[in-house]
Structure 1
Amino acid sequence: MFKRGIRRQIVLHYFFVVFLALLLVEVIFLFAIRAYYYDSIFGHIKNHVEVVTDFVGGRSDTEENVSQELLNTFKLDKTQYEILDDQGNVLINSTGFESDRRVQTSDLPQALAGDIGRWVGRETTTGEQVMAVSKKFQLSGENVYVIRYVTSLKGVNEKLFTITLLAALIGVAVLAVVFIFSVGLANSIVRPINNITQVSAQLAKGRFDKRVKGNYRYELGELASTLNYMAEEIVRTNQVKDDFISSISHELRTPLTSIKGWSETLNMGDYDPEETRVGMRIISKETERLIGLVEEILDFSKLQQNEMKLVMNRVNLREILQEIMLNVWAKGEQKQVHLKLEAEELPYFVQGDANRLKQVFLNIVDNAVKFSHENSWIFLTLQKENGFISVAVQDTGIGISEEHLAKVRDRFFQADHQHGGTGLGLAITQQIVELHHGEMVMQSELGVGTTVTVTLPAAEDEEPEEELSSYTEEGPEDEKEVI
Structure 2
Amino acid sequence: MIKKGIGRQIVLHYFIVVFVTLFMVEVIFAFALRTYYYQTIENHMSNHATRTTDYFQRFVKLYAERDPDYFTEILRTFELDNTELMVLNRKGEVKASSTQFQADKPIQTSDVPQAVAGGVGKWVGRQATGEWVMAVSTPLQVRGENRYIVRYVTSLEDVNAKLMNMTLLSVGVGSAVLALVTLFSIGLANSIVKPINNIRAVSAQMAKGKFDARIKGNYKYELGELAATLNYMAEEIVRSNQIKDDFISSISHELRTPLTGIKGWSETLTSGGFDPEETKIGMQIISKETERLIGLVEEMLDFSKLQQNEMKLVIGKVNLKELLQETMLNVWAKAEQKQIQLKLDDRAERPVIVVGDGNRLKQVFLNLVDNAVKFSNENSWIHLVITLKDSSTALVQVIDSGIGISEEHLGKVSDRFFQVNHNRGGTGLGLAISKQIVELHKGEMQIHSELGAGTTVSVTLPLLEMVGEAGSGAETAERAETSGLLTGKEQMGQDGMNEDA
Which TM-score applies when normalising by structure 1?
0.94
Partner of 2:82: 78
**Partner AA of 1:57 in structure 2:** Q
Residues 429, 89 of structure 1: alpha-carbon distance in 2 compared, 3 angstrom cutoff: same
**Partner AA of 1:159 in structure 2:** K
Deviation at 1:142, TM superposition (A): 3.5
**Partner AA of 1:422 in structure 2:** T
Deviation at 1:475, TM superposition (A): 6.3
For the 8 Å contact 1:56–1:66, the answer to whether it is kept is no
Partner of 1:354: 358
Of the three residues 247, 260, 263, the one matched with 1:244 is: 247
Residues 397, 56 of structure 1: alpha-carbon distance in 2 compared, 3 angstrom cutoff: same
Q: Distance in 2 between matches of 1:444 and 1:192?
A: 42
Residues 138, 280 of structure 1: alpha-carbon distance in 2 compared, 3 angstrom cutoff: same
- Counterpart secondary structure, 1:212: coil
Q: Distance in 2 between matches of 1:351 and 1:476?
A: 9
For the 8 Å contact 2:76–2:98, the answer to whether it is kept is no
Q: 2:436 matched to 1:428?
A: no
Q: Distance in 2 between matches of 1:349 and 1:226?
A: 43
Q: Distance in 2 between matches of 1:240 and 1:256?
A: 24
* Alignment deviations for residues 304-358 of structure 1 (CA, whole Å, 9 cap, x no partner): 1111122211111111111111111111111111211111562111011111111
1:188-267 residue pairs with structure 2 within 5 A?
A: 188-267=191-270
Deviation at 1:292, TM superposition (A): 0.7
Partner of 1:469: none
Of the three residues 410, 423, 431, the one matched with 1:418 is: 423
- Counterpart secondary structure, 1:3: coil
1:53-132 residue pairs with structure 2 within 5 A?
A: 53-57=53-57, 59-60=60-61, 61-62=63-64, 65-123=69-127, 125-132=128-135
Partner of 2:156: 153
Q: 2:396 matched to 1:387?
A: no
CA RMSD, Structure 1 to Structure 2 (Å): 1.8
For the 8 Å contact 1:81–1:147, the answer to whether it is kept is yes
Partner of 2:45: 45
Partner of 2:335: 332
- Counterpart secondary structure, 1:341: strand
Q: 2:286 matched to 1:291?
A: no
Of the three residues 168, 171, 175, the one matched with 1:168 is: 171
Q: Distance in 2 between matches of 1:360 and 1:53?
A: 109
For the 8 Å contact 2:446–2:459, the answer to whether it is kept is yes
- 247-256 or 112-121, which moves further after superposition? 112-121
Q: Distance in 2 between matches of 1:479 and 1:315?
A: 16
Q: Distance in 2 between matches of 1:114 and 1:354?
A: 104
Q: Distance in 2 between matches of 1:196 and 1:64?
A: 96
Q: Distance in 2 between matches of 1:358 and 1:477?
A: 18
- Counterpart secondary structure, 1:134: strand
Residues 55, 324 of structure 1: alpha-carbon distance in 2 compared, 3 angstrom cutoff: same
- Counterpart secondary structure, 1:422: coil
* Alignment deviations for residues 420-457 of structure 1 (CA, whole Å, 9 cap, x no partner): 11111111111111111111121111111111111111
- Counterpart secondary structure, 1:119: strand
Partner of 1:467: none
Partner of 1:366: 370
* Alignment deviations for residues 191-240 of structure 1 (CA, whole Å, 9 cap, x no partner): 11110111011111111111111111111111111111111111111111
Partner of 1:342: 345
* Alignment deviations for residues 248-299 of structure 1 (CA, whole Å, 9 cap, x no partner): 1111111111111111111111112121111111111111111111111111
**Partner AA of 1:425 in structure 2:** G
For the 8 Å contact 1:83–1:148, the answer to whether it is kept is yes
Deviation at 1:477, TM superposition (A): 5.1
- 250-259 or 98-107, which moves further after superposition? 98-107
- Counterpart secondary structure, 1:328: helix
Residues 4, 476 of structure 1: alpha-carbon distance in 2 compared, 3 angstrom cutoff: closer
State, as a whole percentage, how many aligned pairs show the same letter: 65
Deviation at 1:70, TM superposition (A): 2.5
What count of residue pairs does the alignment treat as equivalent? Answer: 472
Residues 86, 203 of structure 1: alpha-carbon distance in 2 compared, 3 angstrom cutoff: same
Moved >3 Å (runs of 4+): 60-66, 140-143, 473-481
**Partner AA of 2:239 in structure 1:** R
Which TM-score applies when normalising by structure 2?
0.91
